[in-house]
């Protein structure tokens, strides 16, 4: 579901931006690029733009397929997967949004076996720096748990 949400957010942000466009290159990087800088707004890998990620992990920890020098935007959402019957479940809600510049050296690489894909993620010290660049924090339970562990500041808006 995180991939679908990231794609929808990328599309919506591009639609409402004056300067950014969705990267039209299949699996191109980053997800949002500077409008008009590349033919047909499509590029395999660009230096400037924003990579969009979404996760259910409080605090915004995400995996990538490779650390890069980039702007990274992470949306943290909460889904009620417990309430039964399903028709009574609470709607999905966004709890945290982070936007910050990260560098290739900030990432830790995790090699995988023959059937797995190599991934990268920000270790604790880099995540702590990244979380300082929050855009939105909901004071709801998931954010409070992350803040209690010292991984997210307590606040609701800047």
62-110, pLDDT tens digit by residue? Answer: 998 888 999 999 999 999 999 999 999 999 999 999 999 999 999 999 8
Within a domain: residue 156?
Answer: no
Q: In the predicted model, is pLDDT for residue 8 greater than 70? A: yes
pLDDT at 35: 96
Within a domain: residue 90?
Answer: yes
Instruction: Please give the order of strands across the beta sheet that includes 108-110.
Output: 63-64, 119-121, 108-110
> Whole domain around residue 83: which residue ranges?
2-148
Number of domain units in the chain: 1
Instruction: Please give the order of strands across the beta sheet that includes 20-22.
Output: 20-22, 32-34, 50-55, 70-78, 93-102, 134-137
Residue 44 tokens, joined: 């395999």
Instruction: Output the CA torsion 145→51→108→54 (10° steps).
Output: 30
- Using 50, 70 and 90 to split pLDDT, how confident is the model at 143? very low
Within a domain: residue 154?
Answer: no
Q: In the predicted model, is pLDDT for residue 142 greater than 50? A: no
100 within 8 A of 133, measured Cβ to Cβ? yes
Q: Cα separation of 91 and 78, whole Å?
A: 9
Q: What are phi and psi of 58, to 5 degrees?
A: -55, 135
pLDDT at 117: 81
Within a domain: residue 153?
Answer: no
152 within 8 A of 142, measured Cβ to Cβ? no
């Amino acid at each position: 579901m995180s991939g679908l949400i990231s794609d929808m957010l990328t599309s919506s942000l591009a639609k409402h931006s004056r300067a950014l466009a969705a990267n039209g290159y299949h699996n191109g990087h980053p997800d949002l690029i500077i409008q008009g800088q590349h033919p047909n707004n499509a590029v395999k890998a660009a230096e400037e733009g924003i990579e969009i990620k979404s996760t259910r992990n409080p605090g915004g920890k995400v995996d990538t397929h490779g650390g890069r020098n980039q702007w990274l935007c992470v949306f943290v959402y909460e889904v009620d997967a417990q309430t039964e019957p399903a028709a009574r479940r609470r709607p999905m809600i966004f709890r945290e949004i982070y936007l910050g510049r990260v560098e290739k050296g900030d990432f830790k690489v995790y090699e995988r076996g023959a059937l797995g894909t190599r991934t990268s993620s920000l270790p604790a010290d880099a995540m702590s720096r990244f979380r300082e660049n929050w855009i939105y924090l909901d004071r709801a339970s998931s954010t409070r748990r992350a803040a209690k562990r010292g991984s997210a500041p307590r606040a609701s808006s800047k």
